[in-house]
Amino acid sequence: MNRFWQTCLILLIGVAVAVPLRWAHLAQRPFHADESVQAMKFRTLWNTGEYKYNPDEFHGPTLHYFSLPFQWISGQDIETESEAPLRSVPAFFSLLAMLTLFCFRNALGRSGLFIGSLLLALSPSLLFYSRYFIHETLLFTFTLLFLAATWQYTQTHRRRWILLSGVALALMYATKETFVFNVAAAAGGLFFLLALEKFKGSSTTFLKQVPRSHWFIALVGFLVTGILFFTSFFTHRAGPLDSILTYFPWLARAGGESSHIWPWYYYLERYFWFSKDSGPLFTELFLLMLAFFGVWAGFKDHFSPAIRRLSLFLSAYTVLLAAIYCAIPYKTPWCFIVVVQGMVLLAGIGTHYLFSIWKGRIPRILISLVLLCGLSHLFYQGRLMNEKYYEESKNPHVYAHTLSDVRNLTRTVQKLGSIHPDGNKMLIQVIARDGDYWPLPWYLRTFENNTGWYPQVPDNLAAPVIIYSPRFSAQVKEGVKKPHQPAGFYGFRPNVFFQLSVEQSLWDEYVEKGLAREDEEED
């Protein structure tokens, strides 16, 4: 078997490991509030064919447009489907991220390629967020594609690679505003590499060797791709300008105007040493350890100059990107996964380095055993995160996640609608501040046209079904036009609760038909 097919086989093994981990029980966890926001925005695109980039919220258009073929393939009605079809989008793109390692095959070697693909498959953080309908996994994949295409161009100087590099950069841009941090870290990594070469008395000629025509090709790829997505394929002219104006509100949030403010070590704790409430220890120190050997390889003369430059670039890029995210006050755990990509590539180089310097049978067996233990521990953590602690605070990647109670509430409301004369046109009033009611808009989407969302108790409180934050209990009790029955108390996420109030006549019918008893049995 030649080298090409060996590489393909190695990557296919990694994909084979990744697939069941990503698609098993994909709908087990209810949608996070952020997932439901994106799902509702995609639903509008699917039902109406319309999408307009919003510079204040929601991030870029790629997630929604790339979801279209997955929705079509699923064959499900978006009004009744589970979470699985939409979550299959990031799951699929996480597989594409693994395939980009093909471009690094010469730098990683067979051992590094194999371990790198397994790390992408088994990393607990990457696995957890590959099952999340948000932009992060797509940004991860497009950034890795950008790095892969750029690396290939430096080795071959073929126009197709610099074109792909420009396209990948545009896809990053059209995915999430935080792509600027990746670009800044990449620029810093290049500057570090050039400065180091100059210090050594040599010079890197990469930039000088790029013809102007090739820069133009990259620019065309970037502009065409970016314009297509931000104009919603030429239906929204203001999109490209909005993609620039968006940085004003997002920079304000990054600077501290948000509820998601955490200390600088927040990510380090979540990713590398997390244990809470007597839960298990979650750590990806194994990945960090292998990455360290990849950094070390960059300062040794064991590999070719090209591979050493790649190692040094990735080292600076990863450290700078981690530093940027740690320095920004605004933090959510999924943002940090883009840092993991550099660690994975360095870990692959590090593995290649270890197998290259220790060629004896016994040392290689020992290295293999250590790698097996480390990968097994990552696999074990991933299973715990996604099958046992998928909505508990003991999981470092559970962040304000929706509890299963939202499904219990939804089920009750749907049954009430089934016996109400108006059916899914039954009036519902939801009262909560600061958008705390998310992800209810997704779960109550069949009642969308007749559901009112209020930040405070409205004057006309006349709906047969009222869902409200406990802080409004007294006002709701006083304001209802007809007698209502308290019908349940539901936890949505930490410190966010809702009460259900049902018109007395509707509730009596609900009880008489045995539907209340069914709910108790299903709970």
Residues 115 and 260 placed together within one structural domain of the fold: yes
Predicted pLDDT of residue 89: 97
What is the distance between the alpha carbons of residues 168 and 138, in angstroms, rounded to a whole number? 11
Predicted pLDDT of residue 127: 97
Residues 88 and 125 placed together within one structural domain of the fold: yes
Contact 78, 43 (CB under 8 A): yes
What is the distance between the alpha carbons of residues 72 and 213, in angstroms, rounded to a whole number? 39
Contact 441, 38 (CB under 8 A): no
Determine if the pTM surpasses 0.75: yes
What is the distance between the alpha carbons of residues 171 and 229, in angstroms, rounded to a whole number? 9
Residue 12 lies in a domain: no
Predicted pLDDT of residue 462: 87
Residues 383 and 416 placed together within one structural domain of the fold: no
Residue 518 lies in a domain: yes
Looking at the chain, the number of H-run helices and the number of E-run strands are 23, 5
Which of 388, 419, 450 is a domain's end point? 388
Please choose, from the candidates 495, 473, 472, the residue with its C-alpha nearest in 3D space to the C-alpha of residue 486.
473
Residue 193 lies in a domain: yes
Predicted pLDDT of residue 259: 74
Which of 333, 363, 388 is a domain's end point? 388
Which of 357, 388, 419 is a domain's end point? 388
Q: How many domains does the chain have?
A: 2
Residue 16 lies in a domain: no
Residues 38 and 165 placed together within one structural domain of the fold: yes
Predicted pLDDT of residue 523: 58
Residue 365 lies in a domain: yes
> pLDDT tens per residue, the chain (523 residues)?
678 888 889 999 999 999 999 999 999 999 999 999 999 999 999 999 999 998 877 899 999 999 999 999 998 999 988 899 999 999 999 999 999 999 999 999 999 999 999 999 999 999 999 999 999 999 999 999 999 999 999 999 999 999 999 999 999 999 999 999 999 999 999 999 888 877 776 665 666 678 889 999 999 999 999 999 999 999 999 989 988 888 887 676 666 566 788 999 999 999 999 998 888 999 999 999 999 999 999 999 889 989 999 999 999 999 999 999 999 998 999 999 999 999 999 999 999 999 999 888 898 999 999 999 999 999 999 999 999 999 888 999 999 889 999 999 999 999 999 999 999 899 999 999 888 999 999 999 999 888 999 999 998 898 999 999 999 999 999 888 888 999 889 999 888 999 999 999 999 988 888 776 666 556 5
Residues 355 and 424 placed together within one structural domain of the fold: no
410, 411, 416, 418: CA torsion to nearest 10: 110
In terms of phi and psi (left: phi > 0; alpha: psi -120 to 50; beta: otherwise), the region of 75 is left
CB contact set of 15 (below 8 Å; sequence gap of 6+): 95, 98, 99, 117, 121
Predicted pLDDT of residue 269: 94
In terms of phi and psi (left: phi > 0; alpha: psi -120 to 50; beta: otherwise), the region of 488 is left
Predicted pLDDT of residue 254: 63
Predicted pLDDT of residue 243: 86
Residue 65 lies in a domain: yes
What is the distance between the alpha carbons of residues 368 and 168, in angstroms, rounded to a whole number? 35
- Cis ω on the peptide bond leading into residue 439 (within 30° of 0)? yes
Instruction: For residue 462, give its domain range.
Output: 405-522
Residue 205 lies in a domain: yes
Through-space distance between the first and last CA atoms of the chain, rounded to whole angstroms:
56
Residues 135 and 173 placed together within one structural domain of the fold: yes
